[in-house]
Amino acid sequence: MTSHTRPWKEKQLEELKQLASKYPVVAVADVNRYPAALFQQVRKKLKKNSVVRVSKTKIIKQALSGIKETSVLVDEAKENCALIFTEMNPFELFAFLKKNKGKISAKTGAIAEEDISIAAGDTGLPPGPALSDLKSAGLKVAVQGSTIAIMADKVVTKAGEPITEAVAGTLSKLNIKPFKVGLKIISILENGQVYHADILDIDTDQVFANFVNAHKKAFNLAVNAEIFNSETAEILVSKAFSNAKAVALEANILNSVTVGSLLAKANAQANVLKPLIKDAPKEEPKEVAEEKKEDAPEEAKDAPVEEKQEDTKETDA
């Protein structure tokens, strides 16, 4: 047991002052009813870029008030609190502690934050008093071999309901810890600004999604308004090229870009007309007919036209 002698207190006070001067961010956390085992786990995870110190509340207040920058945290230090000196920014620290919660056992009367269910399967418990305890929690159980088995999944406590003594005892026997608890931040100081828990408690995934959505909307607006910048340059140039090519094709302007499309278009039109040309009646042009007439042989041209003469019969007078 630590002896809180005067030298110990002075040493604690001096150490806290040095840490407060060294680190840019100082946080006050509530460790009341926080399991010691979980506290040690969090302290170990923060060891890389943070220092966690627990001391008597009076010493913590003296240390904070002894430095001008941290004096604003004096009223934030309550009974059973800890100081976290860190290089992490306030939101990063809060998110880290929120993410690294530990599981604890259920206590009688505690309100369930979500549905608490027990899955079917072998419990590993031998038959005996445990059989009655499991049944009293509403579970369907049976003895299979040398152990008790739960025959069907069961929601033993719904969200918002208090945990009964029977359920709490059953969960303890099955080593089920349905509650999650984290180190509770009271406030964090950075550059003279104090951030309280309600400000720091944000959904980082939702904030990120909001930024992504805002970027998409801004990008679409810039493209539609033809605002040229590093983000829209590629798509605007591509759009202008496509529009210019479409106009050139419509106007049958032949160049290195349109030649392929125009030739393909002409070929397609020719293929459509080709069968129509084959089925059309063959008529000689007037000029060709006159040329043929002029080229006829001379004998045919000068041949006399024979006239039909009537034969007269002489009659005897």
Residue 197: CATH number of its domain: 3.30.70.1730
**d(C-alpha 269, C-alpha 232), whole Å:** 39
User: Quick check: is 297 in a domain?
Assistant: no
Q: Are residues 96 and 186 in the same domain?
A: yes
Mean residue pLDDT of the chain comes to: 85
pLDDT band for position 277 (50/70/90)?
A: confident
Q: What is the mean pLDDT of residues 210-225?
A: 93
Check residue 85 and give its pLDDT: 96
pLDDT band for position 167 (50/70/90)?
A: very high
Q: Are residues 92 and 229 in the same domain?
A: no
Residues 7-35: tens digit of each pLDDT: 888 899 999 999 999 999 999 999 988 88
Q: Are residues 124 and 158 in the same domain?
A: yes
pLDDT for 5 beyond 90: no
User: Quick check: is 24 in a domain?
Assistant: yes
Pick from 209, 137, 138, 199: nearest CA to 168:
137
CATH number at residue 123: 3.90.105.20
Check residue 292 and give its pLDDT: 57
User: Quick check: is 164 in a domain?
Assistant: yes
DSSP-assigned states of every residue in 181-250:
E-PEEEEEEETTEEEEHHHH---HHHHHHHHHHHHHHHHHHHHHTT--STTTHHHHHHHHHHHHHHHHHH
Q: Are residues 90 and 26 in the same domain?
A: yes
The answer to whether the CB of 66 falls within 8 A of the CB of 77 is no
Check residue 51 and give its pLDDT: 94
Q: Which residues fall within 8 angstroms of residue 127, CB to CB, at 6 or more apart?
A: 143, 146, 147, 148
Q: What is the mean pLDDT of residues 83-95?
A: 94
pLDDT band for position 297 (50/70/90)?
A: low
Greatest pairwise CA separation for the chain in angstroms: 190
Q: Are residues 19 and 83 in the same domain?
A: yes
| Residue count (the chain) | 317
Residues 173-206: tens digit of each pLDDT: 999 999 888 899 999 999 999 999 989 988 878 8
Q: What is the mean pLDDT of residues 99-109?
A: 89
Q: Are residues 188 and 72 in the same domain?
A: yes
Q: What is the mean pLDDT of residues 93-104?
A: 90
Parent domain of 123:
116-180
Q: Are residues 194 and 47 in the same domain?
A: yes
Q: Are residues 150 and 259 in the same domain?
A: no
pLDDT for 2 beyond 70: no
Tell me the one-letter amino acid at 265.
Answer: K
Q: Quote the tokens at residue 300.
A: 């045919």
Q: Are residues 157 and 87 in the same domain?
A: no
pLDDT band for position 312 (50/70/90)?
A: very low
Q: What is the mean pLDDT of residues 141-150?
A: 92
Per the structure, the count of domains in the chain is 3
**Interaxial angle between packed helices 233-250 and 204-224, expressed in degrees from 0 to 180 and rounded to the nearest 10:** 30
Q: What is the mean pLDDT of residues 66-83?
A: 90
